[in-house]
Amino acid sequence: MASNQNKTRRRIPKAYADSEFLASPDARTVRILCEYFQPLRKFRENKVKDTIVFYGSARTLERAPAQAALEQARGLLAADPQSEQIQARFQRAEADLRMSQYYEDARTLARMLTEWSLALPGPWGRFLVCSGGGPGIMEAANRGASEAGGKTVGLTISLPFEPQGNEYITDSLAMEFHYFFMRKYWFVYMARALCVFPGGFGTMDELMDLLTLIQTQKIRRRLPLVMYGSEYWKEVLNIDALVKWGMISPQDTNLITYCDTPEAAFEYLTSALTHSNGLPRSRKARGG
């Protein structure tokens, strides 16, 4: 009898503390729910209700490093003008410098929108800049908002080839997702406006997903959408051809507004947000 009492009791882990189980296929629904409730809690704790989402390429460089890379490539080309590899590097550097203007514009626009937002009345965080949290355009957006003194959101996604969580995201509003669809949900659910800068497959996936939701009225609220960089977007996506071939209705083109300067995008977005959210139209509230 005594020997039985002296036996060490084996502790069985509870299911919610079993890391092996939580990482298994059987717990997938639990992980999905976590990616719903954790962001919900963070947004509530930070009093965030509305965001302005910036989409765009992670590959876009800031102007200074892009200029430095071009100068280095130019020096290599001068030393060995026949090298095809160096020629390709020089051409890539030229393109990177040209595209770096979008980094600078995203940074400027995010700063302007944050300054405007901070002047609005109310206890809740109005129109916080939100990005995918990575480098490139995402970093530029978070950076501009941070430089204006505002909080800024970063919804990162775990990827094997892309660093996540740029340094400009507000610590309490930095979130990392495993599931793309849950990340998209939080992009769209909180969004009151979107700025889509030049990007690749990921940016176009997010853009088309959003346009489909608006077109099919799964999103019923007014959601102003800026496609920034008309030269790029009109070459990459021929929206008029979709109308020509009967794949979309002519009125579907009204879902998109093209802008080419931070000032034009700022004026359009603040006007649309003021109108749709009943905000005061004073000069202070308009960022002027």
Are the beta carbons of 111 and 265 closer than 8 angstroms?
no
Is residue 70 a part of any domain in this protein?
Answer: no
Question: Quick check: is 222 in a domain?
Answer: yes
Estimate to the nearest angstrom the gap between the alpha carbon of 128 and the chain centroid.
12
Look up the domain containing 125 and give its range: 30-61+101-277
d(CA 206, CA 212) in angstroms, rounded, equals: 10
CATH label of the domain that carries residue 262:
3.40.50.450
Mean pLDDT of the region 264-273 = 97
Mean pLDDT, the chain, integer:
91
- Asked if residue 48 belongs to a domain, the reply is yes
pLDDT at position 278 = 57
pLDDT tens for residues 28-73? 999 999 999 999 999 999 999 999 999 999 999 999 999 999 999 9
Estimate to the nearest angstrom the gap between the alpha carbon of 249 and the chain centroid. 28
How long is the chain?
Answer: 288
pLDDT for 284 beyond 50: no
What's the confidence (pLDDT) of residue 286? Answer: 33
Number of Cβ within 10 Å of residue 21's Cβ equals 14
* Residues whose CB falls within 8 Å of the CB of residue 37, separated by 6 or more in sequence, listed in order: none
Residue 213 lies in a domain: yes
Nearest to 53 by CA among 237, 185, 176, 178: 185
What is the number of domains present in the chain? 1
Neighbours of 3 (CB within 10 A): 6
* Across 255-262, average pLDDT: 97
Q: Which of 142, 149, 151 shows the shortest CA–CA distance to 110? A: 142
pLDDT of residue 184: 96
The whole-number pLDDT of residue 283 equals 35
Q: What is the pLDDT at residue 178?
A: 95
Band the pLDDT of 288: cuts 50, 70, 90.
very low
Cα separation, 126 vs 123, in Å, equals: 9
Q: Give the Cα separation of 98 and 102 in Å (integer).
A: 8
Does some domain include residue 265?
yes
- Indicate the pairing of strand 191-196 with strand 51-55: parallel
Give me the residues paired with residue 155 across strands: 175
Domain membership flag for residue 200: yes
Is residue 282 over pLDDT 60? no
User: Which of 95, 52, 82 lies closest to 198 in space, CA to CA?
Assistant: 95
> pTM for the complete prediction?
0.89
**Sorting pLDDT into bands at 50, 70 and 90, what band is 281?**
very low
Report yes or no on 166 lying in a domain. Answer: yes
Q: 140 and 104 in contact (C-beta within 8 Å)?
A: yes
Gap between the Cα atoms of 211 and 225, Å rounded: 9
Q: Which residues face 195 on adjacent strands?
A: 54, 226
Strand spans (E) along 56-210: 128-131, 152-157, 174-177, 191-196
pLDDT band at 3; cut points 50, 70, 90: low
**Considering the chain, what percentage of its residues have pLDDT values greater than 70?**
91
The predicted structure's pLDDT at residue 13: 82
> Does residue 212 lie within any of the structural domains?
yes
- pLDDT at residue 165, as a whole number: 84
In angstroms, the CA 15 to CA 18 distance is: 5
Q: Can you give the pLDDT at residue 72?
A: 94
Q: What is the pLDDT of residues 90-142, one digit of tens each?
A: 999 999 999 999 999 999 999 999 999 999 987 666 899 999 999 999 999 99
244 pLDDT higher than 70: yes
- If 0-12 CB within 10 Å is exposed, 13-18 middle and 19+ buried, where does residue 112 land? buried
